[in-house]
Amino acid sequence: MTDIFSLSGKRAMVTGANTGIGQAIAVSLAAAGAEVICAGRSSSDETVSMIEKAGGRAYRLKLDLADPMAGRLIFEANAPVDILVNNAGIIRRADAIDFTEEDWDAVIDVNLKAVFFLCQAFAKSVLARGGEGKIVNIASLLSFQGGIRVPSYTASKSGVAGLTKLLANEWAARGINVNAIAPGYIATNNTEALRNDGARNKAILERIPAGRWGEAEDIGGTAVFLCSHAAKYIHGAVLNVDGGWLAR
């Protein structure tokens, strides 16, 4: 029986692949057999090295999504890509009453506008060659909850969830699966301060039914599933990978 979770023969691009969740997704896709383009504004040398040491194939691609249109021609300039994972994202923190237009625009540009135009460019490439494609967007628990002191981040991630559904509605019948993953509290560099704060760490763990912080690999495995043949009839889903946080 063919392995329905295999990504052998597929070519994937992961944005923000240099560390954390993006790195774990890139490594997981490669372990499943995909050739992976590790894209981002920071060096992905470590990720590429991890993949190559494990016997996989990976490439570096400089891509700064502070310019949300930076990727509009990227799929025309490279060999066909079958999988797009929109992981790159930024966050700005301030009380809503003090939040600046600069911080609003910076986050929306990277987290939402760039996501849409990368999806658009990817879909144009897939449809032009009559192929099939998989898109996985990285949403957030704040696609469902309001959060505090992160207005542009909450708006952007709520937008990612809605955009995922809209694109699925338009492209599902045309051979492109569009889904999203909403990570919970994951042990990465971005959450180190929270984990080092005894009171906050305790409060978070008490809320998570699984009783632990998630690992980046938990998101990587979910991405492999959504990019595989096993998920061929999943369209427009926003899959929570949160240890049960939203079920609490």
Per-residue pLDDT of the chain (248 residues; tens, 9 = 90+): 469 999 999 999 999 999 999 999 999 999 999 999 999 999 999 999 999 999 999 999 999 999 999 998 999 877 899 999 999 999 999 999 999 999 999 999 999 999 999 999 999 999 999 999 999 999 999 999 999 999 999 999 999 999 999 999 999 999 999 999 999 999 988 788 889 999 999 999 999 999 999 999 999 999 999 999 999 999 999 999 999 999 99
How many C-beta atoms surround the C-beta of residue 172 within 10 A? 15
What residues act catalytically?
A: 153
Backbone angles phi, psi at 246, to 5 degrees: -75, -15
Q: Which DSSP category does 149 fall into?
A: S
Determine the Cα–Cα distance for residues 93 and 91; give it in Å rounded to an integer: 7
Q: Which two tokens stand for residue 117?
A: 């135009």
Length of the chain as a residue count: 248
- Rounded Cα distance between 68 and 2, Å, is 39
Closest residue by Cα to residue 135 from 120, 114, 119, 159: 119
C-alpha neighbours within 13 Å on the C-beta side of residue 46: 11
Residue 156 and residue 150: Cα distance in Å, rounded? 10
Class for the domain spanning 11-241:
alpha beta
